[in-house]
Structure 1
Amino acid sequence: MATDDDYLAAPADLGTLLGKPADDPKLLLHLRSASSRFRGAVGHRVTLVADEQIALDGNGRESLLLPVWPTTAVASVYLDGVLLVEGADYQWSHDGLLRRLGCSHWPDRLRCLRVVYSHGWAVVPEDIAEAVLDKAAAMAAIPIGVASKAVGGQSVTFGAQQAIGVTEQWQQAVNRHKIRTSGDA
């Protein structure tokens, strides 16, 4: 059974958009599918995740980016197995910036950092919700099975082909919220 956390937009909004009840099983399937596609495109859950543990590469710089923002808390940072102290050894920002204090740089070594942090959105941003609603509405409009058929030239077109491709709105939301890499810093 799906929960509200499975959806990146409100079922009631999609129901209003499509003129269907918010609990319509097909409507919910399309919304869950569009939400899953968005999560797959950005590479993370989007909604709030508490105390995720990750390993990071040092970059030889003063600051590095945590892969998912917004950052809501940093529970711990270990450098080569040694627990660092917030405010003395590092500081962090809502945008996911992890800055080294006390010495000038993070080491330039692979997997030397272990960070436990919380990230994501308690309330899904409007750009994500709108992109997911648009995708779910498009999916609902696609006929299942054959969309067109030509007998003389033996041409068959299936409705699922219309689902390929994304809107500019979708791509902008994905680009804004995707996992960040060290090259993004």
Structure 2
Amino acid sequence: MASPWATPDELRHHLRLATIDEAQAAAAIAAAERVIRAEIQQTIDLVTDDTAYVVGAGRQLVNLPEWPVTAVTSVHQDGELLEHGEGYRWNRFGMLTRLPGRWPLDAEIVVVYSHGYATVPAAVKQVCLQVAGRAWARPSTAVSAESLGDRSVTYDKDRTGEALTEYEQRMLQPYARGNESR
């Protein structure tokens, strides 16, 4: 993976603290990144020469799973190398168009491409700091139920700060892909 989306010092400023345990802050930021990636089902970080395997659906377009697409190195359809501009074209939104015609039904399409952001978008970074900040501020309040006989403890993700709020989900929506791309 690329470098962290935020630094412990940025989390310290976000929380308005004089000092912060850098290792714990880095762990909270990494956990927030995992939560966000799982929510939007995107890597976000810039990845060069990633390989995607997609299947033709008898349509002119197939969607690549990650975006924004920054470059397409090669496209093979059922083992045959296609030429850019003659066999296919692509756009930054991850749409791969077959030229001419359609991608054959059940055709194996192997795409080597680059995708993601060189600099994490500000909205994504803000959500990361918010999630990490909640997890930092409420690490011990995660218990939602506790029993005494035979000791049983139930934890609540909403209370640990790991669950995204509706507002944060809306902030991340522009960076998420729909199910049709998977």
- What band does the TM-score fall into relative to the shorter chain? 0.7 to 0.9
State percent identity of aligned pairs.
31
State how far apart, in whole Å, the 1-side matches of 2:143 and 2:85 are. Answer: 61
In the alignment, which residue of structure 2 is the partner of 1:140?
136
Residue of structure 1 in register with 2:149 after alignment: none
Compute the RMSD of aligned alpha carbons.
3.0
Q: Is the 8 A contact 1:66 1:180 kept in 2?
A: no
1:83 pairs, out of 70, 81, 84, with 81
Q: What corresponds to 2:57 in structure 1?
A: 59
Q: Which moved more, 1:138-147 or 1:39-48?
A: 138-147
Q: CA deviation at 1:13?
A: 2.2
- Alpha-carbon separation, structure 2, partners of 1:90 and 1:49: 21
Secondary structure at 2:130's aligned position in 1? Answer: helix
Structure 1 length normalisation: TM-score? Answer: 0.80
Q: Which amino acid aligns with 2:128?
A: V
The whole-number CA distance in structure 2 between the counterparts of 1:142 and 1:85 is 54
Structure 1 117/146 Cα, relative in aligned 2: closer, same or farther at 3 Å? closer
In structure 1, the partner of 2:96 is 98
Match of 2:104 in 1: 107
Aligned partner (choices 117, 123, 134) of residue 121 of structure 1: 117
Distance 1:22 1:105, change over 3 A: farther
- On the 8 A contact 1:144/1:159 being kept in 2, the answer is no
Shift of 1:176: 3.0
Q: Quick one: structure 1 residues 61 and 162, their matched pair in 2 at CA, closer, same or farther if it must change by over 3 Å?
A: same
In structure 2, the CA distance between the partners of 1:89 and 1:98, relative to structure 1 (3 Å rule), is same
